[in-house]
Structure 1
Amino acid sequence: MKTNLRHLRVFLSVFDTGSITRASEANLVSQPSVTQAIGKLERLAGQALFLRRPQGLFPTPAGETLANRVRRALLLLDPALTELAPRLRLTATAAQLQALIAVREAENFTLAARRMGLAQPTVHRAVTQLEQEAARPLFERTSYGMVATRPAQVLAQAARLAFAELDQAEADLAELAGREVGRIVIGAMPLSRSYLLPRALAQFRKMRPTLPVKALDGPYDDLMAGLRRGEVDLLIGALRDPPPIGDVEQTRLFDDRLALVARPGHPLGEGSATLEAAARYPFVVSTEGTPTRATFDRLIGPYHPPSLVETGSMILMRELLVVSDHVGCISELQVQAEIRLGAVVRLAVDLPGKPRPIGLTTRRGWLPTRAQADFLSALTAAAPPAL
């Protein structure tokens, strides 16, 4: 619900005071303007936000839901606006903030306009209006492009998260009206893609047969950046120790162990073997910076295997193991399907050390919608029992 920010502020004043008159005084607008703003929001929501009584306006469940999300959005946005210029709390528009975000990401007005589907002068004018209110430039022209100043970066990040809250509001309101709006976006790390996520999605589809779900893969740092920008709802996979940054929270679901695997008929496949014996063969391992790789490096350090192939692809690992004497180091749960199908075998090599915690990473203070809460329940149900 990226609607008129002024209307949302007026709505929140009506919610807090229960009075058109007091809301108009607090926002320095006329009473008809307040009534008009509430009417527009109710049309967007598709339901009443207030019950009109002689004693005043009383919020409906939809009004309470929207007020909660709007308050969360403004608590994110207003400190960043005030840091630039106090007047921006009253004058900044959603269109101006969307233009700021686009230019911040593209570092170019033409590319930003193209991404937004707008003319370049429109985007330039929106950013210029913010700069005039702030009485300072928001971007510095460099040889690499338009680089946002620190306050502009802070404001762009706050606006992203505020808009994410308003998107959540739209989903919450649709839920109250018996409709489904929006989608769930998941950052899926390797173990979750091969084991946990398929089981959770199958369960979730029984509860929500039609709600779109988007599962993204990619490097952990890219998924984390999407989470912190509000573009990804949650990450699923190996947890980091310590957490990567202070504005995210990690929730453990279960523990997982690593295993060494190889092709059927591999020389190490007969009986038990030692890690020292396995290290005489080339290895296929995950990329640096992952918990799996950190554990592997700690275990294999004294033995110096002849070579390493680094990959985040289960398919590449499996196919290389099948056609060579490479040994793979991978999550026991992640490789479970390949072992069951006979593509690889688990080597009888005991890997010492603690199991890895697997779970969820979310933004600190994230409040899921009803649909997202249902998906979290499905994830919990799909997690394997404790080791």
Structure 2
Amino acid sequence: MPASLRHLRMFLALGCDNSVTRAAAACHVSQPAVTQAMGKLAQETGQALFQRSPQGLFLTEAGKVLAHRASRALRLLDAAMADMGRPIRVQATWAQLSALIAVSELENFTLAARRLGLAQPTVHRSTSMLEQAAGMVFFQRTAHGLITTRAAQNLAQAARLALAELEQAASDLAALNGAEAGRIVLGALPLSRSGWLPRAVLEFRKTRPRFPVEIIDGRYDELLLALRRGEIDMVLGALRLPSPIDDIVQERLFDDEVVVVARHGHPLLRRGKIELADLAAFPWVMPRRPTPIRAILDAALPRPQIAGHESPGVIETSSVIVLRELLRGSDQLGGVSRLQAEVEAEALAILPVHLPGALRPIGLTTRAGWEPTGAQREFLAVLRRTVPGGGDAL
């Protein structure tokens, strides 16, 4: 569990006022309480956070790093608590907020307790204490189960991002001592797995051979949710235009083309020229809606071949491996990224037919306002440097 919220508030007050007396008055605690809290923070971080001078106590370099991240974390929490009772700002603990996060996600106290490794009454008590301090109801029981109120959802989201900020602080502080802490968590959409991401990770490993990197693959909506919760640092792959929500930032790095693929020896490959209408004579393997590739195929191919549920011959899958095996054993057609098709060149052939509107932007998706650590900035630089086509891609 990160540093106490009360201790962080005292720390920021002392960093602002440069006086234990003034910080104690601002936080409504005793001077010994501030001194003890700062000693504990220094012990937890392993860094000297203040230096003494005749003019008072001033933040060290490590203190400035922690103050920056802590102020960002507390701003998030305070914004979510703005319409709640004042006691919650003083009384809330990370244990209580962690319980709130778990219950709001699982909407079940027993499951939340199991995730946290705690007894169910302990989790229930933690959220009840938060409700009392906030003067609000966070959970409503209905015939269908537990429902999280909007206020609880907002506070849980703020707490997730605040915790992510403090994890970033630990990484930044370790870097000051020449050590490494933290990790990079990447959400990988299908195209990024076909060469770009593995190439970037191997390049990053040349300078950071032991730095932890976690790659999570999944559907766009799943990865986007994890990104917005602070569980993933960035998502790599096809961008969504327009942006699906305003709390993310999308950075285009290059464009990719959607192509039609089939097995080697497919009947269409024996034709001198392939028209779009020719594609309708064969069954298809396609990604699910509403992916960008599916949108391009839906717009380009003749109906009723892919006009939706009236086309029972369509097999939907997000797996390139499944698509490859289905196409290898049949005359079905598929639509994939050109980069993915090139990786599968031994098994699949690209048909010489152009799909209108086939180009789509590929890049990075991050949280709005996200500030990467030093290691994350290095990885971002590698990602930009290793895009297919290099600098010419932009």
SS at match of 1:316: helix
Q: Which residue of 1 aligns with 2:187?
A: 187
Structure 2 distance, partners of 1:48, 1:331, is 52
**Does the residue aligned with 1:47 lie in a helix, a strand or coil?**
coil
In the alignment, is residue 326 of structure 1 matched against residue 364 of structure 2? Answer: no
Name which of structure 1's ranges 298-307 and 47-56 shifts more when overlaid on structure 2: 298-307
Q: 1:313 is matched with which residue? A: 319
Distance 1:311 1:19 in 2: 62
Partner residue in 2 for 1:298: 299
The question of whether the paired residues in 1 share the 8 Å contact of 2:263 and 2:348 is answered with yes
- Does the CA-based 8 Å contact 1:257-1:331 persist in structure 2? yes
In the alignment, structure 1 segments of 5+ residues that lack a partner are none
Closer/same/farther in 2, CA of residues 338 and 354 from structure 1, 3 Å limit:
closer
Q: Secondary structure at the match of 2:242?
A: coil
The 5 Å alignment of 1:154-233 reads 154-233=154-233
Q: What aligned pairs does 1:8-87 form with structure 2 within 5 A after superposition?
A: 8-87=8-87
With normalisation by structure 1, the TM-score equals 0.96
Summarize the alignment of residues 343-362 of structure 1 with structure 2, pairs less than 5 Å apart: 343-353=347-357, 355-362=359-366
One-letter amino acid of the structure 1 residue matched with residue 329 of structure 2: V
| Equivalent in the alignment of 1:239 | 239
The answer on whether the counterparts of 1:272 and 1:347 sit within 8 Å (CA) in structure 2 is no
1:61-111 Cα distance to aligned partner (Å, 9 max, x none):
111111110111111110212322122111111111111111111211121
Gaps of 5+ in 2: none
Distance (whole Å) between structure 2 residues aligned to residue 204 and residue 151 of structure 1: 41
Q: Distance in 2 between matches of 1:19 and 1:274?
A: 78
Aligned partners of 1:246, 1:252: CA distance in 2, in Å?
16
Indicate yes or no: 2:284 matched with 1:283.
Answer: yes
Partners in 2 of 1:58 and 1:13 — Cα distance? 11
Q: Does 1:381 align with 2:385?
A: yes
After superposition, give the CA deviation of every residue in 1:184-242 in whole Å (9 maximum; x if it has no partner): 11111000111211111111111211111111111211111111111111111100011
Question: What's the secondary structure of 1:325's corresponding residue?
Answer: coil
Percent identity over the alignment?
55
Work out the number of aligned pairs and report it: 385
* Displacement of 1:124: 1.3
Superposed CA deviations along residues 321-359 of structure 1, whole A, max 9, x for unmatched, are 1111111111001221111xx211111112222510001
Contact 1:82 1:89 in 2 (8 A): no
Aligned partner letter, 2:297: F
Q: Is the 8 A contact 1:321 1:328 kept in 2?
A: yes
Task: Give the letter for the 1:173 counterpart.
Answer: L
Match of residue 375 from structure 2: 371
Q: Per-residue deviation at 1:366?
A: 0.4
After TM superposition, the score normalised by the length of structure 2 is: 0.94
Contact preservation (8 Å) 2:258, 2:336: yes
* Distance in 1 between residues matched to 2:3 and 2:273, nearest whole Å: 65
Task: Say if 1:82 and 1:88, in contact at 8 Å, map to a contact too.
Answer: no
SS of the residue 1:185 aligns to:
strand
- Select between 177-186 and 292-301 the one with higher mean Cα deviation: 177-186
Q: Is the contact between residue 2 and residue 94 of structure 1 (CA under 8 Å) also seen in structure 2? A: yes
After TM superposition, give the deviation of residue 8 of structure 1 in Å: 0.3
Cα deviation, residue 309, structure 1: 1.3
The answer on whether the counterparts of 1:273 and 1:348 sit within 8 Å (CA) in structure 2 is yes
Q: How much has 1:268 moved relative to structure 2?
A: 1.3
- How far residue 158 of structure 1 moved from its aligned partner, in angstroms, is 0.9
Q: Which aligned runs of 4 or more in structure 1 are off by greater than 4 angstroms?
A: none
- Which residue is equivalent to 1:105? 105
- CA offset at residue 302 of structure 1? 4.0
SS at match of 2:86: coil
- The verdict on how the C-alpha distance between 1:46 and 1:252 changes in structure 2, with shifts beyond 3 A counting, is same
Name the SS for the 2:372 alignment partner: coil
In 2, Cα distance between the equivalents of 1:205 and 1:291? Answer: 31
Find out whether 1:267 has 2:267 as its counterpart.
yes
Match of 1:254 in 2: 254
Find out whether 1:335 has 2:341 as its counterpart.
Answer: yes
CA distance in 1 between partners of 2:341 and 2:75 (Å): 44
Matched position secondary structure for 1:215: strand
Tell me how large the CA RMSD over aligned residues is. Answer: 1.4
